[in-house]
Structure 1
Amino acid sequence: MAIIKDYCLWEEGLRKILWAKRFMPILEQIRKDYINEKPLNGINVAISVHLEAKTANLALLLKDLGANVYVTGSNPLSTQDDIAAALVHEDIEVFAIRGATEEEYFYHLEKTLENDIRLIIDDGGDLTYLLHTKLENLSDKIMGGCEETTTGIIRLKALEKDGKLKFPMIAVNNAYCKHLFDNRYGTGQSTWDGIMRTTNITVAGKHVVVAGYGFCGKGIAKRAQGLGAKVIVTEVDPIKALEAYMDGFEVMKMEDAAKIGDIFVTATGCKDVVRYEHILEMKDGAILCNSGHFNVEIDIETLEKKAIKIYEARKNITGYKLENGKDVFVLAEGRLVNLAAADGHPIEIMDMSFAIQALCTIYVAQNYKNLDKKVYQVPSEIDSYVAMAKLKSLGIEIDRLTNEQKKYLNSWEV
């Protein structure tokens, strides 16, 4: 039995899903290529990904390929209740409600996994976590799965390193057609969409501090620069810090950037990146937000304990009056600002990422008996399929190597 907020919302949700479908030609190509084969026929698949229209199209594709699909969210504030209702209308079981408490959120994850699940599609590693802890008894039935994001892969690699990973997982985030486009262009655009629609302030001329210069941080910094901001990057990796410098950004420690920044955006996958000691140094009116998977990058817990006043400044903006008399503002409770305060990545970007998810899910279903309990990279042929399908949808043709060129590139002789 599904757990959603209100089934009556399904019509609006279906409109959103159909709109997104118009801009997801790669998923449609996969549907055409595999619909007769039905490679997931009869397999129970659990999806824990930010529950909005693009994710719904992934779920519906897997259903068309024969899977029995069970869907939950991967963050309480990124679930869209009308999308959940629409999926239920399309005969997919959903366990997710926007704004769920942490206890409710994990209950929804558990209910999803209690459906004789064989394959998982995870975003952040919460399904994997439960299958290695509270619901460990269910892990023996898991063929394997896919992980969408950097944070989840960090958790998977830690399990693999300790020899505790119980089934094979594909690191979808590491695919070229994922991190080069989703993390950089998707996060870059959607983060600023969330910030601007939530605050309604000008970005041009402001000092923007971006914590972390991985592919997500690069996208956020580039988009801020394009909007006219003066961008500062903070990093712990010397190579990434040097890269940010060479890309034309100021690089400094957070304790120094805290005194300068007007808007702070975290995208590291680590905890306590912006600590209370940093917040005390910030300007009156500084704005803080996060684009990392979990709401741990800004130390909200200490901020709430130390603030002398907490108030709603505007929808999705919490104001904190500090002991020094300054006010700082946190967007979307420190959760992913691009999803909790906007609609997430652009549709065309997620078409690529979810195409990789779908193809990797098929790959695991067909090859799990030959896979060890480890983290695998996305097979190169899947990356190539998605890239070629994307180019085709754009009407772009590229050159191909001649046999003579192939021979030249694979020979040591001149």
Structure 2
Amino acid sequence: MSYNSIIITIGDELLIGQTIDTNSAFIAQQLNKSGIQVKRRIAIGDDRNAISDALNESIPNADIVFLTGGLGPTADDITKPLLSEYFGGKLTVNETVLAHVKQIFSRRNRPFLERNLRQAEVPENCQVLFNRLGTAPGMWFEQDNCIIISLPGVPFEMQTIVEEEVMPRLSERFKGYYIYHKTLMTVGIGESFIAEKILDIENALPADIHLAYLPTPGFVKLRLTSEGSDKAKMEHEVEIRAQLIQQRLGDYIAATEDISLEEIVANALKEHRLTLSLAESCTGGYVANKITNLAGSSAYFKGSIVSYANEVKEDLLSVKHETLMTAGAVSEATVKQMAEKGREVLKSDIALSISGILGPGGATDEKPVGLVWMAICNKNITVTKEFHFFYDRLRNKELASNAALDMIRMFIAEHYA
């Protein structure tokens, strides 16, 4: 038996685009792990009628309804009193929550205001979901064979409640149905070309296995999905199809799990006990940012020299003035010198450099917007590559950064296998 859920996100800021809804994505990921499908996602404003209408529509059509947002102490936070009325109860002070809220204010050396007392009020007919990181508790209701879960909108608080309070209960309640995903990451090949290469494999997929194409700047993820009650059989059947696709696409496959390019690079560096340094110009340190977003990156990442200006290329990376005047900052000769000197200065095993014209200005007829040169080297060899990207500045920056990461991946695969 499959189980369905609906996610309702509350807040005017979501509807005007001021805040991006990351809560739904996180909740959906957690539910999928427990075999619970997300049937719909609904975004509504801070409006009592809109919230009531969404509940009226959702409760008869789902096993679980999630709400996020509107649980704060200010006048625009209307979710809690509305839920109390909706489920026929009244707000009462929960002493455990009150003690926790007071402790938080005391620890932060902040005065406890009368309005903060509202954070300890919960509907009398709900189960309290403890929020150890904040003052707004989550709430669990049950009505008409449906579980309704209300959570604060602050992402890190919501995530902690879901992981510590919600999912253990849901996993215990909803058993025996599974959703299995297998993700293959491809780099260097477009979505339509992939589809042509694996057309016969896709057409031969059984009815209970679905293939999705997930294009992102610089790479395409292929996700195979199966649902059912026989977990072992599902996984086996999906893995067989995944292996067929891997064999067909060959070197275009960068990973056989749902991870980022920077994680792939990190894993390769750690496996071969290599260190990396960067010399970035047009990307302004963005490649380094991606790498250092990963915990433990200090084990393999030495650093980055952001040589945006020509004088920095000359002073810190010893790029010859003549090279900059004749070939230009965006050239094979320049990135070659940047990479080789960067490796020497930062004392790494491998170094990558990047210089380009991301737009909208700075281009010439010979060097159009989107032209990017990269070089990567170790102590024995330097490899250079020219790229052309065709979008706006920020998309070109993303594409260039992902291309740089893939160039590192391929260099390691070719020279350290």
Structure 1 and Structure 2 fold alike (TM over 0.5): no
Question: What TM-score, normalized to structure 2?
Answer: 0.25
TM-score, normalised to structure 1's length?
0.25
Higher relative strand content? 2
Higher relative contact order (CA 8 A, sep 6+): 1
